[in-house]
C-alpha cells in the first residue's frame, strides 16, 4: 500500500502538469492580447480556503520559512481573534497574488509562485483562548538523550509557515504578516529552509537532504486514505486540523565526510544512489528486514535508521515535510547546516513520540545528527471565505 500511495503522489504531480498544459492551450487559442503571454510558474496559486489549511498536503514548495512567536502579555482571547482575522485576510490575498491590506510593496505580491501561509497555535495560545481546549499532546516533547536543545530554537506560542517556489515571494509575504503580528506577539525564532529550485527536477521526486540521501521515500501520500488517517485530527475544535512537530536537527557534514559510501548506506539501510533498500530493488520497493548476508547478519542492520523508524503499530506513522537549512559558517571547514524536520500527525503523543523514542535508543544516524530545537503546534483547520483561521477555537 505504501508503494501505491507513492505512485498516487506521482500521478498527482502528472495531473498538475496536465492542468498546466491545458492552461497553455487555452491561452494559445484565446484572442485577448494579454493571454498570448506564456504562463509562468510564478502565476500558479494554491487555494487558501478549504477544509484544511494549505501548506500541509500541498506538494512541498522550494522555499519555506517558519516563524515562532511569543504572545505579548496583554493579549487575550479577543486579541487573538483580531490577530487571526487580520492574518487570515492578508493570507487569503497574498496567496492569490493580491497585495496585502496595507501593502507597502504591492508589486511584490504579484508573483504568488504557489505561496501557502499556514498558522499554528502553541500551548499558551490555546490556553489563553480556552484553557479546557488544549489537546493533551500540545506541550513540549519529552526529553531525549540525543537532544541538545537551545531555547532560542525551541517552543513558541504561535507559528507561521510561509512557503513558495520563489524566495522573494516568501520574503515579501513574511514581511506583511510580521507587520500584522507585531502588536500581538514578538518574534522568537526564524527557520529558513530550502529544497531544490522549482524546475531543477521533475515534479514529484523525493528530495535529497544535505547528506545527499533521498529523504521522504516512505511517507503517506496526500489524497490517500492513509494520509487522511495519519494527518487530520477528528478531535473537537481541531477537527480538520493537525499537529506539527518542528525539530531543528544539526547535521555534522564534516563527520559525514569521514564515512565511506558503504558506511553511509549501512547507517540508513538504503543506497545513496537510488535510495533503494539495501536488500535490492528500486527506491519504492519494500525493504526485506528478514534478509541476512552470508555470515548470517541482517543486511539492513539493527541500528539502521529505516529499521528503527518503522513500527508494526499502524498508529505510529507520521507525515514528514522537511526542509534543508544552512546558516552562516564561522570557518570554511565548520558547516552550520541541517534539517528543519517538520512532521504532521493528528496526535503527537501516539504517533511522533514513540518513533523518536526508538530512534533515541538506537539509530546509527545519531552519530551525525543532533536536535538543537524543538516545538509542537496545533494546526487549526482551514476556513471558508468570510471566516477566519482559528474560528473553531475562538468563536
Residue 146 near residue 370, CB atoms below 8 Å? yes
**Binding region for ligand HEM (CB under 6 A) out of 12-20, 27-35, 302-310, 324-332:** 302-310
Beta pairing partners, 42:
none
Determine if 310 is a binding residue for ligand HEM (CB under 6 A).
Answer: yes
Determine if 353 is a binding residue for ligand HEM (CB under 6 A).
Answer: no
Q: How many CA atoms lie within 13 A of 47 on its CB side?
A: 10
Residue 228 near residue 239, CB atoms below 8 Å? no
Tell me which of 66, 153, 341, 344 binds ligand HEM, using CB under 6 A. Answer: 341
Tell me which of 369, 377, 390, 393 binds ligand HEM, using CB under 6 A. Answer: 369
Q: Per-residue string for binding with ligand HEM, 268-297, x by CB under 6 A? A: x-x---------------------------
Tell me which of 63, 188, 248, 305 binds ligand HEM, using CB under 6 A. Answer: 305
Determine if 211 is a binding residue for ligand HEM (CB under 6 A).
Answer: yes
Determine if 389 is a binding residue for ligand HEM (CB under 6 A).
Answer: no
Determine if 335 is a binding residue for ligand HEM (CB under 6 A).
Answer: no
Tell me which of 180, 215, 226, 265 binds ligand HEM, using CB under 6 A. Answer: 215
Least distance in angstroms from the C-beta of 368 to ligand HEM: 8
**Binding region for ligand HEM (CB under 6 A) out of 94-102, 163-171, 188-196, 244-252:** 244-252
Give the angle 294-295-299 at the CA atoms, nearest 5°.
70
Determine if 209 is a binding residue for ligand HEM (CB under 6 A).
Answer: yes
Q: Per-residue string for binding with ligand HEM, 216-235, x by CB under 6 A? A: xxx-----------------
Strand 207-208 vs strand 214-215: parallel, antiparallel, or unpaired? antiparallel
Determine if 355 is a binding residue for ligand HEM (CB under 6 A).
Answer: yes
Least distance in angstroms from the C-beta of 103 to ligand HEM: 37
Binding to ligand HEM (CB under 6 A) within 27-46 occurs at none
Determine if 207 is a binding residue for ligand HEM (CB under 6 A).
Answer: no
Determine if 141 is a binding residue for ligand HEM (CB under 6 A).
Answer: no
**Binding region for ligand HEM (CB under 6 A) out of 31-39, 102-110, 211-219, 294-302:** 211-219
Determine if 185 is a binding residue for ligand HEM (CB under 6 A).
Answer: no
Output phi, psi for 81, to 5 deg.
Answer: -65, -45
Nearest residue (CB) to ligand HEM, 225 versus 361: 361
Nearest residue (CB) to ligand HEM, 110 versus 285: 285
SS (H, E, C) 262-308: HHHHHHHCECCCCCCECCCCCCCCCCCCCCECCCCCECCCCCCHHHH
Residues 6+ apart with CB under 8 A from 376: 122, 123, 137, 138, 139, 140, 141, 243, 244, 245, 246, 348
Q: How many residues bind ligand HEM (CB under 6 A)?
A: 24
Q: Residue 92: which of 69, 114, 116 has the closest Cα?
A: 116
- Tell me how far apart the alpha carbons of residues 113 and 164 are, in angstroms, rounded to a whole number: 6
Residues 6+ apart with CB under 8 A from 354: 311, 313, 316
Strand 337-345 vs strand 242-251: parallel, antiparallel, or unpaired? antiparallel
Nearest residue (CB) to ligand HEM, 154 versus 356: 356
Least distance in angstroms from the C-beta of 312 to ligand HEM: 11
Least distance in angstroms from the C-beta of 302 to ligand HEM: 15
Q: How far is CA 110 from CA 46, 86, 327, in A?
A: 14, 20, 29
- Tell me how far apart the alpha carbons of residues 259 and 188 are, in angstroms, rounded to a whole number: 36
Give the angle 282-204-318 at the CA atoms, nearest 5°.
80
- Tell me how far apart the alpha carbons of residues 240 and 238 are, in angstroms, rounded to a whole number: 6
Tell me which of 100, 177, 249, 276 binds ligand HEM, using CB under 6 A. Answer: 249
Residue 71 near residue 169, CB atoms below 8 Å? no
Largest CA-CA distance found in the chain, in angstroms, rounded:
72
Determine if 56 is a binding residue for ligand HEM (CB under 6 A).
Answer: no
Which residues bind to ligand HEM, rule: CB under 6 A?
209, 211, 213-218, 247, 249, 251, 268, 270, 305-306, 309-310, 339, 341, 355-356, 359, 365, 369
Amino acid at each position: 500500500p505504501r508503494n501505491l500511495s507513492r505512485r498516487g503522489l506521482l500521478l498527482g504531480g502528472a495531473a498538475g502538469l496536465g492542468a498546466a498544459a491545458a492552461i497553455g492551450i487555452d491561452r494559445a487559442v484565446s484572442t485577448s492580447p494579454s493571454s498570448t503571454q506564456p504562463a509562468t510558474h510564478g502565476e500558479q496559486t494554491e487555494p487558501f480556503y478549504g477544509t484544511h489549511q494549505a501548506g500541509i498536503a500541498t506538494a512541498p514548495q522550494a522555499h519555506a520559512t517558519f516563524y515562532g512567536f511569543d504572545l505579548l502579555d496583554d493579549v487575550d482571547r479577543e486579541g487573538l481573534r483580531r490577530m487571526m482575522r487580520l492574518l487570515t485576510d492578508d493570507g487569503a490575498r497574498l496567496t492569490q497574488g493580491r497585495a496585502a491590506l496595507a501593502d507597502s510593496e504591492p508589486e511584490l505580491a504579484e508573483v504568488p509562485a504557489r505561496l501557502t501561509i499556514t498558522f499554528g497555535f502553541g500551548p499558551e495560545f490555546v490556553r489563553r483562548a480556552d484553557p479546557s481546549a488544549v489537546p493533551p499532546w500540545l506541550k513540549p516533547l519529552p526529553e531525549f538523550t540525543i537532544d541538545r536543545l537551545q531555547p532560542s530554537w525551541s517552543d513558541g506560542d504561535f507559528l507561521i509557515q510561509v512557503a513558495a517556489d520563489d524566495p522573494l515571494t516568501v520574503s515579501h509575504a513574511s514581511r506583511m504578516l510580521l507587520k500584522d503580528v507585531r502588536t500581538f506577539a514578538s518574534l522568537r525564532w526564524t527557520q529558513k529552509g530550502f529544497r531544490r529550485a522549482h524546475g531543477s527536477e521533475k515534479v514529484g521526486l523525493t528530495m535529497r537532504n544535505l547528506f545527499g540521501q533521498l529523504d521522504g521515500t516512505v511517507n503517506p501520500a496526500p489524497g490517500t486514505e492513509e494520509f487522511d488517517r495519519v494527518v487530520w485530527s477528528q478531535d473537537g475544535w481541531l477537527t480538520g486540523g493537525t499537529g506539527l512537530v518542528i525539530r531543528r536537527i544539526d547535521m555534522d557534514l564534516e563527520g559525514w565526510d569521514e564515512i565511506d559510501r558503504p558506511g553511509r548506506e549501512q547507517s540508513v539501510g538504503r543506497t545513496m544512489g537510488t535510495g533503494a533498500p539495501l536488500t535490492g530493488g528500486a527506491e519504492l520497493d519494500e525493504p526485506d528486514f528478514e534478509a541476512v548476508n552470508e555470515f548470517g547478519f541482517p543486511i539492513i542492520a539493527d541500528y539502521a535508521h529505516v529499521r528503527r523508524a518503522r513500527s508494526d503499530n499502524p498508529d505510529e506513522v507520521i507525515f514528514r515535510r522537511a526542509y534543508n537549512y544552512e546558516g552562516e559558517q564561522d570557518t570554511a571547514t565548520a558547516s552550520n547546516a541541517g534539517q528543519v524536520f517538520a512532521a504532521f500527525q493528528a496526535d503527537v503523543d501516539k504517533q511522533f513520540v514513540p518513533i523518536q523514542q526508538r530512534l533515541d535508543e538506537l539509530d546509527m544516524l545519531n552519530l551525525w545528527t543532533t536536535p538543537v530545537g524543538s516545538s509542537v503546534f496545533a494546526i487549526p483547520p482551514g476556513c471558508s471565505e468570510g471566516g477566519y483561521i482559528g474560528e473553531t477555537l475562538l468563536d
